[in-house]
């Protein structure tokens, strides 16, 4: 797809819950994926899928199904990609609260599952030019593949392959926990992870384009 060709945006798959934002609002998030600059999770009060961006790198590694508390920043626009409808700026690092698994976690996750009849994130292509991003389309989704996923290690690259809409898809996987697990075991391939879910997201712009990636592989809670 050339830079001058608009991506094929599909209609929004379904309306998801939204969180009421305001400076100083406190949220408890069920963590789905996290790195040093942001945490993707579910607001336990509203059921909304959000992405909390920190003002400074946060060195501690959060695990899936941790529950953390965050406080929204006064500058609600202090996010790297304002077209992310789920993005929230928080005033400091997340604070650990508890963990949530089993039926209580599943009750929050199930309504957020991406419809299988729609392309991932509503875009057929694997990347979209940053200037053509649309704030009415999601930048992150919780995906239940149609069958087992597999992970393939090639040097520093980790690929996630999974069936979607009758075809095997491959996306880069940024799950450092699984990458480290494979490296410790000397594994180049990990397969048969049936029932796991994926956190699929668009990256911030890389050379002007936002790419689909798997931010985390989630075991069933």
Specify if 115 maps to a domain: yes
Confidence of residue 4 (pLDDT cuts 50, 70, 90): very low
Specify if 96 maps to a domain: no
pLDDT of residue 116: 87
Closest to 87 in 3D by CA, of 54, 122, 65, 109: 54
Confidence of residue 170 (pLDDT cuts 50, 70, 90): very high
Specify if 50 maps to a domain: no
> How much is the mean pLDDT over the chain?
87
Instruction: Show the domain range for 183.
Output: 111-218
Specify if 120 maps to a domain: yes
Specify if 81 maps to a domain: no
- Per residue in 38-94, pLDDT tens? 999 999 999 999 999 999 999 888 999 999 999 999 887 788 777 888 999 999 999
Percent of the chain clearing pLDDT 90 (strictly above): 61
pLDDT of residue 19: 73
Confidence of residue 5 (pLDDT cuts 50, 70, 90): very low
Question: pTM value?
Answer: 0.88
Check whether 141 has a pLDDT greater than 50: yes
C-alpha distances out from residue 139 to 52, 59, 65, 100, 103, Å: 13, 24, 20, 24, 26
Specify if 2 maps to a domain: no
Tokens of 134: 């649309």
List the single range of 78-92, 103-117, 163-177, 202-216 with lowest mean pLDDT. 78-92
- Identify the sign of the CA torsion 185, 190, 192, 196: positive
Structural domains in the chain (count): 1
Instruction: Tell how far CA 122 is from the center of its chain.
Output: 14
Using a CB cutoff of 8 Å and minimum separation of 24, what contacts does 105-109 make? 105/30, 105/65, 105/221, 106/220, 106/221, 108/30, 108/42, 108/44, 108/47, 109/42, 109/142, 109/197, 109/221
Specify if 149 maps to a domain: yes
Confidence of residue 2 (pLDDT cuts 50, 70, 90): very low
Cα separation, 113 vs 145, whole angstroms: 10
Specify if 76 maps to a domain: no
């Amino acid at each position: 797809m050339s830079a001058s060709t608009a991506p094929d945006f599909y209609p929004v798959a379904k309306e998801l819950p939204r969180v009421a934002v305001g400076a100083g609002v406190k949220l408890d998030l069920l963590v789905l994926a996290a790195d040093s600059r942001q945490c993707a999770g579910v607001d336990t009060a509203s059921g909304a899928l959000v992405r909390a961006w920190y003002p400074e790198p946060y060195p501690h590694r959060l695990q899936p199904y941790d529950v953390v508390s965050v406080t929204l920043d006064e500058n609600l626009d202090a996010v790297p990609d304002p077209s992310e409808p789920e993005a929230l700026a928080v005033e400091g690092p997340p604070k650990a609260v508890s963990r949530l698994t089993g039926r209580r976690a599943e009750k929050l996750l199930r309504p957020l599952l991406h419809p299988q009849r729609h392309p991932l994130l509503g875009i057929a292509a694997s990347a979209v030019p940053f200037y053509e991003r649309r704030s009415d389309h999601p930048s992150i989704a919780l995906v239940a593949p149609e069958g087992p996923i597999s992970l393939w290690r090639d040097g520093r690259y980790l690929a996630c392959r999974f069936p979607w809409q009758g075809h095997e898809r491959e996306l880069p996987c940024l799950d450092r926990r699984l990458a480290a697990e494979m490296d410790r075991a000397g594994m180049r391939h990990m397969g048969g992870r049936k029932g796991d879910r994926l956190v699929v997201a668009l990256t911030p712009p890389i050379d002007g384009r936002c790419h689909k990636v798997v931010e985390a592989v989630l075991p069933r809670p």
